[in-house]
Structure 1
Amino acid sequence: MTLCIVTYSVDGHTRALAQAIADGGRGQVFDVTALTEADWSTLDHASAIVMGAPTYMGGLPATFVQFIETAASRWDTGQWRDKLAGGFSTAMHPSGDKLNALMSLFIFASQMGMIWIGNTETGAPVVPENEGINSDGSWVGVTASVPKSGTKILSDGDLETARLYGMRMRAAIARWEK
Structure 2
Amino acid sequence: MSTPVKIALAYCSGAGHTRRLAEEIAAGVMGAGGAPVLIDVTAMDEGDWAAMAGAAAIVFGAPTYMGSAAADFKAFMDASSDIWVDQLWADKLAGGFTVATFASGDKLSTLMQLSVFAAQHGMVWLGQGEIGAPVDADKPEINQSGAWLGLAATSVRDKTLMVSRGDAETARRFGARMAKAAQRWG
Q: If the TM-score is normalised by the length of the shorter chain, which range does it land in? A: over 0.9
- SS state at 2:97 partner: strand
Counterpart in the other structure of 2:112: 103
* Offset of residue 103 of structure 1: 0.3
* Offset of residue 44 of structure 1: 1.2
Structure 1: which 5+ residue stretches go unaligned? none
Match 1:81 to one of 83, 90, 95: 90
Residue correspondence of structure 1 range 1-178 to structure 2 within 5 A = 1-26=5-30, 27-148=36-157, 151-177=160-186
- SS state at 1:143 partner: strand
- Please say if residues 133 and 141 of structure 2, whose CA atoms lie closer than 8 Å, have aligned partners that are also in contact: yes
- SS state at 1:103 partner: helix
What TM-score, normalized by structure 1, do the two folds share?
0.96
Identity of aligned residues (%): 46
* Offset of residue 5 of structure 1: 0.2
* Offset of residue 148 of structure 1: 4.7
| More off after superposition, 148-157 vs 128-137 | 148-157
Query: Whole-Å Cα distance in 2 between the matches of residues 176 and 169 of structure 1?
Result: 10
- Please say if residues 16 and 154 of structure 1, whose CA atoms lie closer than 8 Å, have aligned partners that are also in contact: yes
What TM-score, normalized by structure 2, do the two folds share?
0.92
Query: Whole-Å Cα distance in 2 between the matches of residues 151 and 20 of structure 1?
Result: 14
- SS state at 1:38 partner: helix
* Offset of residue 72 of structure 1: 2.3
Query: Whole-Å Cα distance in 1 between the matches of residues 158 and 42 of structure 2?
Result: 29
- SS state at 1:130 partner: coil
Structure 2: which 5+ residue stretches go unaligned? 31-35
Over 3 Å counting, the alpha-carbon distance change for 1:50 and 1:35 in structure 2 is: same
Query: Whole-Å Cα distance in 2 between the matches of residues 68 and 57 of structure 1?
Result: 18
Query: Whole-Å Cα distance in 2 between the matches of residues 165 and 68 of structure 1?
Result: 22
Query: Whole-Å Cα distance in 1 between the matches of residues 37 and 55 of structure 2?
Result: 10
Corresponding residue pairs, total: 177
- Please say if residues 72 and 112 of structure 1, whose CA atoms lie closer than 8 Å, have aligned partners that are also in contact: no
